[in-house]
Structure 1
Amino acid sequence: MQGSVKDEKKFNKLIAIVSIIIPIVVAILFGVKIPNVEPLSFLPPIYATINGLTAVLLLAAVWAIKNCKEKLHQNLMTTNIALSLFFLVMYIAYHMTSDSTSFGGEGAIKYVYYFILITHIILSIALIPLVLRTYAKAYLKKFDEHRALAKYTFPIWLYVAVTGVVVYLMISPYYAY
C-alpha cells in the first residue's frame, strides 16, 4: 500500500528543514576551530575513499534494481546514505581541527580544479533534498515517482561522489601532513 498524502507532507516538511539546516550547520562548523586539538589530518584519504565507495555502490544499486533485486538495491541505497552521513561527520571534524588546504596548481589546471570543486559543493548541497525525497518516495512505495526522481538524483549523486575523489587527488599533494 502506498503512503498517504499526509505521510508525504510530513516527509516533505522534514526534508525541507533538514535540507536547510545541514548546509547552514556545516558552514558554521567549517569556521569553528577547536583549539589545542591534534589536527585530524588522517581523515581526507578516508573520506575520499568513502566517496569512491559511494560511487561504486551507486552503480551496484542501479545494477541491482535493473536486475530485479529490490532488497539489494534498498540495502545499497541505505548504505550510501549512511556513508554520506559518515563522510559529513569526518569532513566537519577535519575542518574543525585543521586549516584549509589551498590548491597549489598553476595555469589551466587551477581553473579545472576550482570548476570541479565549486560544482561539487553546489551539487552536494542540492543533493540533500534530492536524495531524501527519492528515498521517501521509495519508502512510501510510490515507485513510479521514485524512479522519475531517481533519474535526476542518481547522476548528480554519482558526480558528487566521483568529484569528491577527484578533488582529493588534485589537492592531496598540497596537504601538510
Structure 2
Amino acid sequence: MERLLCIWFGAGLLRPAPGTWGSAVAVALGLLLHRLGHFPLLALATGLVILLGFWAVRRFTAGMEDPDRSEIVIDEVAGQWIALLFPSFGFWMMDLGPDRFPWPGWVAAFVFFRLFDIWKPWIIGRADRRRDPAGVMLDDLWAGLFAGLATMVAAAAFHIPLML
C-alpha cells in the first residue's frame, strides 16, 4: 500500500521525468477535485495527501540509503495541490462556479511548481538536502507554497494594470 501511494498509483513509473508526470497527474486530479467540491474539497484532499505522504514515504523508504527515489511522486502531488490551492481559493472567493478554473491559474501553478521543485532555492534546497523521508516531502511542500504565491503575484501583475 505504501509503495502504491508513493508512486501515486503508477504515475511515478512514467518516464522520462517522473516528477513532471506526477505533477501533471496532480493537476488533472486537482482540477477534478475543484470541479467536484471547489476549494474546500481540494483543501481537504491536500491535507489528506500530505499526511498520507509523510506516512507512506517513511514506511516505504525504511532502510533505504537514499529515500529520495525518482519514482516517489506523492510529494509532487502534495506540493502541486498546495500550488493549486491559491488560484482555487481566489476563484472560490470570487464566487466562480466549481466548473470554472481558468487555464492561466492552473498552468501558472504547474509551471511555477516545476520551477521551484527543480531549482530548489533557499529553504526548498535545505529541505531537499536532509536526505530523510521528511525531507522528501518537505521540499515539495515548500515548492508548492512558493509556487502558489508566485501564481498569485503573476495574476496580480496581469490583472491590476487591466483595472487602471
TM-score by length of 1: 0.33
Higher relative contact order (CA 8 A, sep 6+): 1
> Which protein shows a greater Rg?
1
TM-score, normalization: structure 2? 0.35
